[in-house]
Amino acid sequence: MTTETAAKPLPKRRDCHQTLVLKSAIFSRFLLLSLSILWRVLLRPYDTSAPLNPACLTDPNPHPHPPPLFPSLGSAIENGIVWDSVYFVRIAQCGYEYEQSYAFLPLLPACIFILSQTVFAPLIPVFGHRAVLGLSGYVVSNGAFVLAAIYFYKLSVIILKDPVVALRASILFCFSPASIFYSSIYSESLYALFSVGGLYHLISGANSIAIIWLALSGCARSNGVLNAGYFCFQTMHQAYDAIFLKKRKFVSFFSFVYADS
């Protein structure tokens, strides 16, 4: 078997692996959301901040939305807005009102706001405004995780140079113990998407796209600023090649000329 013939199945295998990663990521999200709903029904939530929704400070006389058609479904969605999700949804609804709100960066609230005002805007009379904001947050977080899993597999193939090992790593990423944070209205999913995707584009040579993606990761979480270190390392590596390697060639050339003379 020639090398060309042996290399032909690799793209097909990677496509099959990528499809499996996509299915695993989607299945893991449905599984986690189902378990979350189940435990929320069976057990009493520890955090009881979900119903809290005072009027926005920027609009002291808000125009009230009409009562939703299905308030029970809207209430069920709002019950999932707990812990840090309260802040993200509140920022998407009212903007930055309090000093503690500045700990939550604007990328996720901006995505929630845009999605709730465009794609999911017709659902506001059905479930209510805050419920649609929560639904938008869940869609953004879970959708970003699915894309992050695909980029994780692509990046693993390049680094590990073994599609089978990359597939196993991607499956473990989908079913990791901390995976619940990627299905909640938290910024981890967006950060993972733009960090892993940015690294993939950087290694692939698309530096302009990598800069945009890694910059967006810094808009999702504050530790995204550390991703600038990849470009610093790349610049240092290029400077080393430009200075020392060319200097060695220059010295070798003059040594050769001097030896001949």
Task: Report whether pLDDT(201) > 90.
Answer: yes
**Which pLDDT does position 44 carry in this prediction?**
79
Can you tell me the distance from the alpha carbon of 11 to that of 108, in angstroms, rounded to the nearest whole number? Answer: 35
Number of domains in the chain: 1
**Which pLDDT does position 63 carry in this prediction?**
61
Q: Is residue 42 part of a domain?
A: yes
Q: Residue 10: CB partners within 8 Å, gap ≥ 6?
A: 163
Task: Report whether pLDDT(260) > 90.
Answer: no
**Which pLDDT does position 188 carry in this prediction?**
96
**Which pLDDT does position 120 carry in this prediction?**
95
Indicate the pLDDT class of residue 7, thresholds 50, 70 and 90.
very low
**Which pLDDT does position 163 carry in this prediction?**
92
* Arithmetic mean of pLDDT, 146-153: 97
Q: pLDDT tens digits, residue range 64-105?
A: 677 888 888 888 898 888 889 999 999 999 999 888 899 999
Indicate the pLDDT class of residue 164, thresholds 50, 70 and 90.
very high
**Which pLDDT does position 32 carry in this prediction?**
93
Can you tell me the distance from the alpha carbon of 44 to that of 259, in angstroms, rounded to the nearest whole number? Answer: 85
Q: Is residue 156 part of a domain?
A: yes
| Contact call for residues 127 and 73 (beta carbons, < 8 A) | yes
Can you tell me the distance from the alpha carbon of 186 to that of 173, in angstroms, rounded to the nearest whole number? Answer: 17
Q: Residue 175: CB partners within 8 Å, gap ≥ 6?
A: 24, 28
Can you tell me the distance from the alpha carbon of 223 to that of 78, in angstroms, rounded to the nearest whole number? Answer: 29
Number of helices followed by number of strands (H, E) in the chain:
12, 0
Q: pLDDT tens digits, residue range 12-45?
A: 777 899 999 999 999 999 999 999 888 888 887 7
Scanning 161-206, the segments in alpha helix (DSSP H) are 163-174, 188-204
Q: pLDDT tens digits, residue range 41-68?
A: 888 777 777 677 787 887 755 566 778 8
At 93, the amino acid letter reads: Q
Task: Report whether pLDDT(255) > 90.
Answer: no
Q: Is residue 37 part of a domain?
A: yes
Indicate the pLDDT class of residue 156, thresholds 50, 70 and 90.
very high
**Which pLDDT does position 12 carry in this prediction?**
76
Q: Is residue 24 part of a domain?
A: yes
Can you tell me the distance from the alpha carbon of 224 to that of 226, in angstroms, rounded to the nearest whole number? Answer: 5
Lowest mean pLDDT segment, chosen from 6-15, 55-64, 205-214, 232-241: 6-15
- The parent domain of residue 125 ranges over 11-186
Q: pLDDT tens digits, residue range 124-139?
A: 999 999 999 999 999 9
**Which pLDDT does position 85 carry in this prediction?**
93
Residue 155: burial class (beta carbons within 10 Å; 0-12, 13-18, 19+): buried
**What mean pLDDT value characterizes the chain?**
86
SS3 assignment, position 72: helix
Q: Is residue 128 part of a domain?
A: yes
Closest CA to 141 of 211, 89, 215: 89
Can you tell me the distance from the alpha carbon of 14 to that of 10, in angstroms, rounded to the nearest whole number? Answer: 6
Q: Is residue 260 part of a domain?
A: no
Q: Is residue 217 part of a domain?
A: no
31 sits in which H/E element: helix 9-42
Q: Is residue 226 part of a domain?
A: no
